[in-house]
Chains A and B, each alone.
Chain A
Amino acid sequence: MGAIYIMWLRELKRYFRSKAQIIVSLGQPTLYLLALGFGFGPVFAKAGAGNYIQFIAPGVIGMTVLFSSIFSGMAMLWDRQFGFLKETLVAPVPRIQIIFGRTLGGATVASLQGLLMLIVCLIAGFRPLHQNGAGHNWLALPAAGIFIGMIALVFAALGSSIGSTIKDMQGFQMLMNFLVMPLFFLSGALFPLKNLGRVLTWITHLDPLAYGIDGLRGVLIGNWQFSFNWQFNFMLDLCILAALAAIFLGTSAWLFSRIEV
């Protein structure tokens, strides 16, 4: 247990020590929120689709959590480079504890980033709404926290699996272009996943983040305003995320236990 705790703590310390990094990594999602939210807002409203800030806020929160969590796992590449990885590989604790500690730490950090982004959205004018449209629903925030945590866990575990496998920067670049960006664009973070055509719809159903965004959007703005918000449903989203988290955690533990240097 001590090993899980100390590896978790390490991730948190790194997070709180790089205050500049906290702000910088909120920059891109904030840009999306403001540029797209206010830029596309009028077009969106004219098309009768409602308020685009309301629509995109859950999307950029999910984006923040996705990037933060998946990179925390891939940071293992740096530990490999700077050698610290070896110290944890020869430690007399089951490697599964090391990797779980790291992953939980990464997920915690990503959740904190997600919550900060939620605050940025609230400042920008976003308001959580009731399902039936009856005013503001501040109770939605804790429910959003659950989805933020689940997204963070799924992608921190996926990041850890990747981090246990890739050994160089080229691999990292490849994954960035061919995995992380598609995960983001096909998740429904920026546009509704309705009427996309059979093939594309099918692909979006394979994107784990789509379930996270759907759940997040569902609890935050309900389904009264946009008929297409609640594509799946609360329990289904949560179950799929939980199952994926379990699968990725298992995979990362297996891959990490096999590392030789």
Chain B
Amino acid sequence: MIRVENLTKTFGEFTAVKDITFEVDSGEVFAFLGPNGAGKTTTIKMLTTLLRPTAGRIHLDGFDPWVKQREARQCFGIVFQDPSLDGEQTAYENMELHGILYHVPHKVRVERIEQLLKLFELWERRKDLVKTFSGGMKRRLEIARGFLHTPKILFLDEPTLGLDPQSRNQLWTHVKGLNERENTTVFLTTHYMDEADRVAHRIAVMDHGAIVAIGTSAELKAKTNTDSLENAFLALTGSSLRDEGANSTDAMRRFAQMWQKR
């Protein structure tokens, strides 16, 4: 479903993604793990036509996103790491706009918006402006929106960022459910190892722009001789903090993460 060959992205002197190659099968849940600044978001941006790769090849459902842009865009949905909702419109209008941009026929659109908003417990608030929503509600709306046009591939870039444990748990239950019911291929990134362990069929660990290991959770543990995915991750990426090329937000997140881990 996704095929990536020798993908590279450089920003000036700095190489954010170094010659990575991997494949994701249809219906698979694939997790991309890596320390801050590893290049996960940059990879997703290249996969989703937002950044032009410096080198390498991408196939999404058989389409090269830079050649068959529209076909490629139609086949995926994406939840970005940063918010991407229109705060000045209501939840329903955000869904409706998405449905129209993705050519979802009117009847299907109405049905599916209702179904998804109910699933993510936003139906009661559908007529409220999104700017009045809490962070968690916004996140749920973005994920519901990502599913609206029944994408073949769903990209989730840290979808649980800022969610409470209940919401995180519920979110993965829904994602897993939709993955099974609609056979959606899911490509996700997260910093919570337990989430990756729970939902992902296969995991790739990225560090300094390169993929350092790829396999099932069990395979990664076996390979590193560790008993948890967290320890396998640390064994693969080392326990030093990353700071090259980082901006202040990155630094702050890293700082927060450091304290959580101790």
Contact = CB atoms under 8 A, between A and B. Distances in A.
Contacts of B76: 90
Majority SS at the chain B contact face: loop
A261 interface: yes
Contacts of B100: 2-3, 5-6
A90 B97 contact: no
Contact of A91 (B73, B82, B89): B73
Nearest to B81: A83
B224 interface: no
A194 interface: no
Contacts of A10: 86, 89, 97
B50 A261 contact: yes
Given A90-B49, A91-B101, A260-B50, A83 B73 contact: no
B80 A6 contact: no
Given A13-B89, A86-B50, A261-B50, A93 B84 contact: no
B88 A17 contact: yes
B86 to A, nearest CB: 5
Contact of B101 (A14, A17, A93): A93
Given A83-B80, A83-B83, A86-B84, A261 B102 contact: no
A107 B233 CA distance: 53
Contacts of B49: 89-90
Given A10-B97, A86-B50, A92 B102 contact: yes
Given A86-B80, A90-B50, A14 B88 contact: yes
Interface in B54-105: 70-71, 73-74, 76, 78, 80, 82-89, 93, 96-98, 100-103
A88 B82 CA distance: 14
Contacts of B98: 87, 91
Nearest to B69: A92
Given A6-B100, A90-B49, A84 B73 contact: no
Interface in A183-235: none
B52 interface: yes
Contact of B85 (A6, A13, A83, A91): A83
A82 interface: yes
B97 A6 contact: yes
B48 interface: yes
User: Which of B52, B76, B80, B84: most chain A Cβ within 10 A?
Assistant: B84
Contacts of A90: 48-50, 73, 76, 78
Contacts of B51: 260-261
Interface string A68-95: 0000000000010011111111111110
B84 A87 contact: yes
Nearest to B74: A92
A80 to B, nearest CB: 11
B164 to A, nearest CB: 22
Contacts of B168: none
Nearest to A261: B50
A85 B80 CA distance: 12
B48 to A, nearest CB: 5
B127 to A, nearest CB: 13
A88 B50 CA distance: 11
A13 B70 CA distance: 28
User: Which of B48, B76, B88: most chain A Cβ within 10 A?
Assistant: B88
Interface of B: 45, 48-52, 70-71, 73-74, 76, 78, 80, 82-89, 93, 96-98, 100-103
Given A82-B86, A87-B84, A90-B50, 5 more contacts: A3-B101, A82-B83, A84-B86, A87-B86, A92-B71
Interface of A: 2-3, 5-6, 10, 13-14, 17, 79, 82-94, 260-261
24 contacts: A2-B101, A5-B100, A10-B89, A10-B97, A14-B88, A79-B86, A83-B83, A84-B86, A84-B87, A87-B86, A89-B49, A89-B50, A90-B49, A90-B73, A90-B78, A91-B73, A91-B98, A91-B101, A92-B70, A92-B74, A93-B101, A94-B70, A260-B50, A261-B51
